[in-house]
Amino acid sequence: MAFLSQAWAIVRKDLLTELRGASTIVSMVLLGLLVVLVFNFGAEPGADSAVLARSGVLWAAFLFSGVIAVGRSFASEKEAGCLDGLLLCPADRGAIYLGKLIGNLILVFATGVVILLFFTVVYNVGIGAGWLGLLLLLVLASVGLSTLGTLFAAVAAGVRARDALLTVFIFPLLVPLVIAAAHTSTLLLAGQSLGDAGLWPWLLVVYDAVFLAVSFVVFDFVVED
């Protein structure tokens, strides 16, 4: 019970801090929308290549904006000198990780929804009955990105070139997630159901489960001075 209560205290604190500063969420949304818009201008309207590439655009926008959120989550703790304050608390390191993860997850998912809505407007995509599948896909991708991102953000927090370090490590590891999400969403946008996507959604589930388990195990060592 204390575990969850402490994790929730961190989630609440992070969201309150973010809502008052609003710098991260504004950057995330703007970058996401910009990526969608720029790719749209680069493609010839109605061309087959544009139709095929649109899933990639959606997940590229999601990826770039998501990395901003996770990168800022520990950087802001470090800047205020608060990371040590957090680590001094008699809380399980898992509770601290879970709190930071859920805070990031909410930001990443919310931004993902905004990007998805903007994407449907810009690309004139009728989601139709596939909206539930896309939302579920967004949840799975958000969990994967937040899980990995929170862990690596903690690693990078103590390093001067943290933004460069974070992107160098995180982008290659997120490639399977983006491929699986793009394949699945291509089918969903073509009017097929999640069940027609075969193993791709399951790849995301396994990806999330593996990195979630690994992150809980190694987080204690990661935040060790």
Partner 1 sequence: MTAEGIESPSEPAVLVHGLRKAYGPVEALCGLDLRVEPGAFLTIFGPNGAGKTTLLKVLATLTRPTEGSALVGGKDVVRHAGAVRKRVGVISHNTYLYPQLTALENLEFYARMYRVSAGRERALALLTKMDLGRRMHDRVGTYSRGMQQRLSVARALLHDPKLLLLDEPYTGLDQHACRVLADVLEGLRDGIRTVIMTTHNLQEGLAGCDRAAILVEGRLVFDQEVTNIDASGFQHTYFSCVHAEVPRA
CA–CA separation, 106 and 97 (whole Å): 14
Residue 160 interacting with partner 1 (CB under 8 A): no
Residue 225 interacting with partner 1 (CB under 8 A): yes
CB of 119 closer than 8 Å to CB of 32:
no
DSSP 3-state of 161: coil
Considering beta carbons, is residue 87 or 179 the nearer one to partner 1? 87
Task: Report, in Å, the least distance between residue 17 CB and partner 1.
Answer: 4
44-103 residues near partner 1, rule: CB under 8 A: 80-82, 84-92
CB of 162 closer than 8 Å to CB of 71:
yes
Residue 6 interacting with partner 1 (CB under 8 A): yes
Contact mark string toward partner 1, 20..49, x via CB under 8 A: xx----------------------------
Largest CA distance in the chain: 58
CA–CA separation, 143 and 108 (whole Å): 9
Task: Report, in Å, the least distance between residue 145 CB and partner 1.
Answer: 24
Considering beta carbons, is residue 97 or 207 the nearer one to partner 1? 97
Task: Report, in Å, the least distance between residue 81 CB and partner 1.
Answer: 3
Burial label, 143 (beta-carbon count in 10 A; 0-12, 13-18, 19+): buried
